[in-house]
Amino acid sequence: MKKIALTLNLGSTSLKASIFDLDKLSSFEAPLDSRTWTRSPSNPMDRASGSNQVKGPPRQCNEALSATLDQVAEWISDCWPIPSIVVHRIVHGGTLHGPCLLNPETLKILASFSNWAPSHQARSLALARAANIRWPSATSIASFDTDWHQTLPDLTRTLPISESLRSDGLRRFGFHGIAYQSVWRQFCGLQADAMERRVVLAHLGGGSSLCAVKSGSSIDTTMGLTPIDGLPMATRSGSIDPGVMVHLLRKGDISADDLEHEFSEHSGLLGISGSTGDMKQLLSRDDEPARLAIDIFTHRTAQGIASMAATLGGIDDLVFSGGIGSNAPGIRASISQRLEWAGLKIDQQANESPNAAVQDTQSTVGIWVLDASEDRELAGSASQWL
């Protein structure tokens, strides 16, 4: 019987599971099978109105995860053998470099970084523990979103705070690394001279960030210690004046936990529009709050791309990915138009069609649209454990 690897990618509102042939992990082939479970509003693990935060006490949340994992196990048992390897996407690797075994010691270390990714880390680790119980004979592997950014130089990883504060391990880590790795792999297949090009990757979705890539390495990115930093997102504020936080804390009307909740769950597009952080819904509306939310998003993203280009000393290619980057041609067009001064000119017809290259013939910068395949990267990362 064919031996399989199972990848589990737990997002804010869904769990994607994919099955791979254990003998072909290193080839980054498409999965043999894949399925996504989306949580319902009544599920205590679901998010409320665009919020990423886990709802309900930990016991309820763990029960919800176990129930979802039961469905995954039932799906597998119908057609596939028990997995030999289970690979988890973990958002924050902190001081760990992946891929690595998810044993009790590793799980404990990763749990210590939960405050640096409060909307993601605890749930992902709870899922990993549940999977270890479900498939005790399987090798459990973690792949980290932070790994891609291990190449950040001191120039862009160092926070401008005192050394005494930095000694607590505070620095810029960067995220979306597994998605960036997938997009970069695809880009290299399209551009023979990719390693010589100055490339900005724009992963735009519920969570959004940018990455400057030179010689195949991440040298700058918009997210920092936590995934809240950088661009305004669906419900996350992105970069904001620290004085705003100091002011709110000094007023005494809000705790540190509540402040984190506000900037993680009720800010960004949701905070500006007052009703939704879903870009698709915002684009379907014609009211001033929706227009302002979209304008701020495209403006800040264009600014961010320009800052990544400054790090690179120019820009040869801009690559869009993510739920918004891959599926919202109007957003791509608006961002590109804001950067026409830098040589970007999008082809409107190509941009409205399923094309990888969408730049106009007059553009001096390549403009690309690629779909990240995180499950393939997760599977590939486990090949060393065979």
Distance CA 35, CA 88 (A): 15
Q: Which of 46, 145, 147, 316 is catalytic?
A: 145
Question: In which residue ranges of the chain is pLDDT below 70?
Answer: 39-62
Distance CA 80, CA 323 (A): 30
Q: Is the pTM value of this prediction over 0.85? A: yes
Structure confidence at residue 118 (pLDDT): 87
At residue 333, φ and ψ (nearest 5 deg) are: -65, -45
Distance CA 300, CA 30 (A): 35
Distance CA 168, CA 161 (A): 11
Closest to 68 (Cα-Cα) out of 116, 127, 139: 127
**Structure tokens belonging to residue 220:** 């700058």
Q: 3-state DSSP helix/strand/coil percent for the chain, to nearest 5?
A: 45, 15, 40
- Residue ranges and CATH numbers for the domains of the chain are 4-144 (3.30.420.40), 193-369 (3.30.420.40)
Q: In what order do the strands lie in the sheet with 366-369?
A: 217-221, 209-214, 199-203, 317-321, 366-369
Q: Which helix (H) or strand (E) holds 315?
A: none
Q: By the 8 A CB rule, do 322 and 204 touch?
A: yes
Distance CA 219, CA 199 (A): 11
Distance CA 217, CA 235 (A): 29
* DSSP bridge pairs for 85: 5, 139
Closest to 304 (Cα-Cα) out of 211, 184, 371: 211
Distance CA 129, CA 102 (A): 9
What are the pLDDT digits (tens) for 207-229? 999 999 999 999 999 999 999 99
Distance CA 101, CA 108 (A): 12
Q: By the 8 A CB rule, do 32 and 22 touch?
A: no
Distance CA 304, CA 230 (A): 8
**Structure tokens belonging to residue 236:** 């996350």
Closest to 30 (Cα-Cα) out of 369, 354, 373: 373
Structure confidence at residue 48 (pLDDT): 31
Closest to 279 (Cα-Cα) out of 340, 215, 204: 204
- Does 258 participate in catalysis according to the annotation? no
Structure confidence at residue 250 (pLDDT): 94
**Structure tokens belonging to residue 255:** 């705790």
At residue 2, φ and ψ (nearest 5 deg) are: -60, 135
Structure confidence at residue 59 (pLDDT): 55
Structure confidence at residue 49 (pLDDT): 30
Closest to 52 (Cα-Cα) out of 13, 88, 89, 14: 13
